[in-house]
Chain A
Amino acid sequence: MNAATLFGICGAALAGLGLFGLITNSEPLRKILAFNLLGTGTFLIFGVVARRGAAAGLGGDPVPQALVITGIVVAFSATAMAVVLLLRLFEESGKATLDPNEADGASTAEDDS
Chain B
Amino acid sequence: MMPGLAVLTDASADGFLLPLAIILPVAGILSAFVLGGRHAERIVLLLLVPGLGVAAAVFVAVWRGGRSLVYLVGGWEPPLGIALRADGISAAMMATVAVVICATALFARGEFAQPHGRPEARAPFVFWTLLLAIWTALNTIVLGDDLFNLYVALELLTFAAVPLVSLKGNAATLKAALRYLLFALFGSVLYLLGTVLIYSAYGTLDIVLLSGRVHPEPVAWIAAALMTMGLLAKTALFPLHLWLPPAHAGAPAPGSAVLSALVVKGSFFLIVRLWFDAMPGLMDLAAAQMLGTLGSGAILFGSILALRQQRLKLLIAYSTIAQIGYLFFIFPLALGAATSNPWSGFAWTGGWLQLFSHAFAKAAMFMAAGLIAETLGHDRIAQFGGIGRVLPITMFTFGLAGLSLMGVPPSGGFVAKVLLLRASIMEGQWWWAAAMLVGGLLAGGYVFMVLGKAFSSASASFKICAPVPRSREVLPLALALCAVLLGFVPLQPSNLLQIGRTAALTVASP
Contact = CB atoms under 8 A, between A and B. Distances in A.
A46 B196 CA distance: 6
A113 B250 CA distance: 7
Contacts of A93: 171, 174-175
Interface string B188-201: 11001101110110
Contacts of A109: 172, 249-250, 310-311, 313-314, 379
Interface residues on B, range: 35 or more
A46 B151 CA distance: 15
B138 interface: no
Contacts of B175: 89, 93, 98, 102, 107-108
B9 interface: no
A82 B196 contact: no
B242 interface: yes
Given A42-B192, A45-B196, A35 B186 contact: yes
Nearest to A67: B148
A44 to B, nearest CB: 10
B155 A78 contact: yes
Interface residues on A, range: 35 or more
Contact of A82 (B168, B185, B203): B185
Contact of B196 (A35, A42, A78): A42
B169 A92 contact: yes
A46 B179 CA distance: 28
Interface in A60-74: 63-64, 67, 70-71, 74
B186 A22 contact: yes
A18 B166 CA distance: 27
Nearest to A95: B171
A110 B178 contact: no
A105 B177 contact: no
Interface string A95-106: 000100011110
Interface string B27-69: 0000000000000000000000000000000000000000000
B242 to A, nearest CB: 5
A86 interface: yes
Interface-centre pick from A45, A46, A63, A74 (highest chain B CB count, 10 A) = A74
21 contacts: A18-B189, A22-B182, A42-B189, A42-B192, A49-B200, A53-B200, A74-B188, A75-B189, A82-B185, A85-B177, A88-B166, A89-B174, A92-B170, A104-B245, A107-B175, A107-B246, A108-B173, A109-B313, A110-B172, A111-B377, A113-B249
Interface of B: 148, 151-152, 155, 158-159, 162-163, 166, 168-179, 181-182, 185-186, 188-189, 192-193, 195-197, 199-200, 203, 242, 245-246, 249-250, 252, 305, 310-311, 313-314, 317, 373, 377-379
Given A81-B162, A105-B317, 15 more contacts: A28-B178, A28-B182, A31-B182, A42-B196, A64-B196, A64-B200, A67-B196, A71-B192, A85-B166, A85-B181, A89-B171, A105-B176, A108-B173, A109-B311, A111-B378
